[in-house]
Chains A and B, each alone.
Chain A
Amino acid sequence: MFQRVGKSEASVIISVDGTRVTARAGDTVAAALLAAGLTSTRTTPISGTPRAPYCMMGVCFECLVTIDDVGNRQGCLIPVSEGMRVDTQKGKREAGR
């Protein structure tokens, strides 16, 4: 649960699991997902329990998502861009990605 403060010039439209999400220019993917109200952003490959971004600085790898069909990308390091397709990962990374 997060609220926005401050202002930004532009918004960026991305899709998250097929749903349209408006992010702020300058958001990282992980920030955009949290701002959109997602509580968890993946489930673990081992026990399948839900996880969410923890460090936001590239350390913990809890923010792994599939971006434009490339799996296991660190959402907290990658800025959103117009039309980006983000898919959350369930368990093991899907084969072929």
Chain B
Amino acid sequence: MSAVTSLDDHYDVAVIGAGPAGLAAATVTATAGLSTVVLDDNPAPGGQVWRAVTTTPVQDRRVLGDDYWKGQEIVQAFQASGAKHALGAAVWSLSREREIGVSFGGGARMLEARRVVIASGALERPFPIPGWTLPGVMSVGGAQTLLKASGLVPGGRVVLAGAGPLLWLFAHQMLQAGGQIHAILDTSDRAGWRAALKHAMPFVTSPYLVKGLKLMAGVRRRVRLLTGVTSLAAGGRNKVEAVIFRQGSEGGQRMAADMLLLHQGVVPNVNLAMAAGVEHHWDAQQLCFVPVLDTFGGTGIEGVAIAGDGAGIAGAEAAVERGRLAGIAAVRALKGDTGKLPDETASRKVLAKYDGARAFLDTLYRPSRGFRIPAGDTIVCRCEEVTAQQVIDNVRIGCTGPNQLKSFLRCGMGPCQGRMCGLTVTELIAETRGVTPAEIGYYRLRPPVKPIALAELASMPKTESDVTAVVRI
């Protein structure tokens, strides 16, 4: 499918996002005989975790690893399910009546669904350090996408900095691909280990442990690791030339670098769900906003569910199960129990296993305050080039929250619509005012959640009443 006209007006189920959760949900509903469409803005199915799993040039399976190639099976099941897939389709609005605005193949249109599953996944937590806008500084996830989709390995003196499982996984993949890592600067808090221990028991029995430890040990044998990093900056004029950092309370160090790859965990991608009016709350453990959901991912909006990491970070395997559960709920609501449904209890068992381990990982890799809440000239909003000090100054003269900040500084009003600064702004305002992030809240998001060209809007199919409505104005 490649043209906007190839989409129908109505579907039983619309799934937004073709990653682990979206593919699993759509497979369940399409297999049960419901007309299902999957809308995703990427050029191939798989989401970010299984990015380009059907097309990757990196065919040596040891490079990307078993967990990546597992995606193949899920994609194949999806492709055999009869669900429609619109690749490169950007969803820019979702209403309470489950009307979806989508841009696709150069055109735009609305379509309706009886059930909607939002599976828009996660994005990397902002990592606002001095110099993070310099060319040559990239997110670890971004570099990983280049490897998966295009077989590109960063060269020169490559420094990885931050914390979290994805950083170690990518380091491993990069080495497997023949790349070289100049150094890893570990920003995880040493206190994290002590705090994490009380959650260790469920972790020890979880599937994460053996895999994770083996991977880290392998990387550590081959790469210089600097731990306890407490401050970090990228230096250079028109591109990164050096990484400037401190370990603990020691003096500053400078390391020449050609690329700096940053990562400090992932957070739910909330833009579409928030703009649709789904209630979210501040998760003090994961330090992000998560939607309020029932046990099948159902939101407060009739017929709209959220599955996968967008429902709270739990990883790819859990996302598949959460997608299945959302699919099962949709089928039951529209068709009753058809007998063609996957086993709900099996999904819940897998979920319990991963949930138990998550508290350990969340505590261990909790990004430290200094890397979440910047100061001084560090850019917070990359689009509008707003600094931390500007935010702080505006709060001191009476700006109370993120929405006011938009009109004071245009912060969060650029094309990324707050995706790169939202959490930073919430925490920065909260700290400056001495209240909790929950009290501050997030940017109020409104559709379109993706920029849409006027030409696309103008090309939208119109009804008679649309035309007269415009004429009257």
Residues of A within 8 A of B (CB): 1-8, 24, 26-28, 31-32, 34-35, 39-41, 44, 46-47, 49-62, 64, 70, 72, 76-79
Contacts and interface: CB of A to CB of B under 8 A. Distances in A.
29 contacts: A2-B153, A3-B152, A3-B153, A4-B150, A4-B151, A4-B153, A5-B58, A5-B177, A6-B56, A6-B57, A6-B58, A6-B63, A6-B151, A24-B150, A32-B150, A39-B136, A47-B385, A50-B135, A51-B133, A52-B138, A53-B138, A54-B137, A54-B142, A55-B123, A55-B139, A59-B124, A60-B416, A61-B415, A77-B41
A58 B133 contact: no
A6 B385 CA distance: 38
Nearest to B258: A1
Given A7-B59, A79-B43, 19 more contacts: A5-B153, A5-B177, A6-B58, A6-B59, A6-B151, A24-B57, A31-B149, A46-B385, A49-B238, A51-B133, A51-B382, A52-B136, A53-B142, A54-B137, A56-B146, A59-B420, A60-B382, A70-B453, A79-B88
Contact of B145 (A2, A5, A6, A56): A56
B277 interface: no
Nearest to B158: A1
Determine the main DSSP class of B at the interface with A.
loop
Nearest to B269: A59
B461 interface: no
A77 B269 CA distance: 17
B150 A52 contact: no
Closest 4 CB pairs of A and B: A6-B57, A6-B151, A52-B135, A56-B142
Contacts of A8: 57, 151
Interface residues of B, number: 56
Nearest to B414: A61
A26 B231 CA distance: 38
Contact of B415 (A1, A50, A72): A72
A7 B88 contact: no
B43 A54 contact: no
A31 B136 CA distance: 13
Interface in B370-399: 382-385
A59 B143 CA distance: 14
Given A1-B259, A26-B52, A31-B150, A57 B238 contact: no
A46 B150 CA distance: 32
B43 A77 contact: yes
Contacts of A32: 150
Given A1-B154, A26-B149, A55 B141 contact: yes
Interface in B204-242: 238-239
B57 A26 contact: yes
A89 to B, nearest CB: 12
A57 B141 contact: yes
A9 to B, nearest CB: 9
B149 A46 contact: no
B178 interface: yes
Nearest to A63: B142
A1 B146 CA distance: 12
B43 A28 contact: yes
B155 interface: yes
Given A31-B146, A50-B239, A61 B48 contact: no
A39 B239 contact: yes
A50 B240 CA distance: 11
A54 B138 contact: yes
B419 interface: yes
Given A24-B151, A40-B238, A53-B138, A58 B385 contact: no
Given A50-B238, A60-B420, A64-B415, A28 B150 contact: yes
Contacts of B124: 55, 59
B146 to A, nearest CB: 6
Contacts of B135: 39-41, 50-52
Given A1-B259, A28-B149, A49-B133, A56 B155 contact: no
B145 A59 contact: no
Nearest to B106: A70
A14 B8 CA distance: 34
